[in-house]
Amino acid sequence: MRPEPRLIEVRKNVLKQNDIVARTLRDSFHAAGVFVVSLVSSPGSGKTAFLEKTLTLLRPNYRVAALVGDLATENDALRLARSHAPVKQITTGTLCHLEAAMVQNAIQEEHWDLNQLDFLFIENVGNLVCPSSYDLGEDLRLVLISVTEGEDKPLKYPTIFNSADVAVVTKMDLAAAVEFDSQTAHKNIQAVRPGMQVFKLSAKTGEGMQNFLNFLSKRLQELRPTPVT
């Protein structure tokens, strides 16, 4: 008798394993009251400079730490360590993105006590494609573009922009030199993610940073509502 094909229903999310770990992470972050921000961008748009500035400015008032993903080298961790915040490099080898399990392992290896943190930053591998599919348990996904990359970046990589919660346009100190069209960039961001909040700033000069820090403080407060008396 010739075998006949038969269809059986399965319905399983391919990234279920990652989603389970991400959910566990998110629960533990919330239980500890730490606000977690992940950063995605193309290589070279200035994630590390932006993060170094953010850590340095937050540190006098908040307890901060950062995980930073790269295919190789500890260079970014060394740069971020200048902010005197605890920093851990995750080297992914050939992998083009971070996964939730890597975040979990890194936190465990460092023995970080989440209860002792206000903000945790996770800098993803420089890549505007692959990181979009992987939940890391973060509260906020921040996509960064620099003025030197052109205004059409959101249209070229709509998936990652759509998956992000806020956008940061960096290197604004170079905007005039590269004839960056701020309005067009804003319009393109809104086309792929209607209503997304956009911060324009320069990590180098500090212009616009305060606005972003105020936003982070507010989000942390929302995460830890003061009990009504």
Partner 1 sequence: MHELSIAMSIVELAEEEASRRGVQIEAVHLKLGALAGVVKDALLSCYEMACDETPLQGSRLIIEELPVIIFCTTCQAQHPLNSIQLFCCPKCGTPSDLIVQGKELEVVALEIKECAPNPA
C-alpha 169: how far from chain center: 14
C-alpha 4: how far from chain center: 49
194 binds partner 1 (CB under 8 A): yes
CB 36 → partner 1: shortest distance, Å? Answer: 21
Stretch in the footprint of partner 1 (CB under 8 A) among 73-81, 108-116, 158-166, 173-181 = 158-166
93 binds partner 1 (CB under 8 A): no
Size of the site for partner 1 (CB under 8 A): 35
CB 130 → partner 1: shortest distance, Å? Answer: 4
Cα–Cα–Cα angle for 52, 54, 57, rounded to 5 degrees: 105
191 binds partner 1 (CB under 8 A): yes
195 binds partner 1 (CB under 8 A): yes
Half-sphere exposure for 70 (CA within 13 Å, toward CB): 14
Looking at 40, 160, 209, 216, which residue binds partner 1 (CB under 8 A)? 160
CB 134 → partner 1: shortest distance, Å? Answer: 8
Write the single-letter amino acid at 91. T
91 binds partner 1 (CB under 8 A): no
Among all chains, which residue has been given the structure tokens 């970014």?
A: 76
Write the single-letter amino acid at 185. A
Return the sign of the alpha-carbon dihedral for residues 195, 163, 157, 98: positive
CB 202 → partner 1: shortest distance, Å? Answer: 28
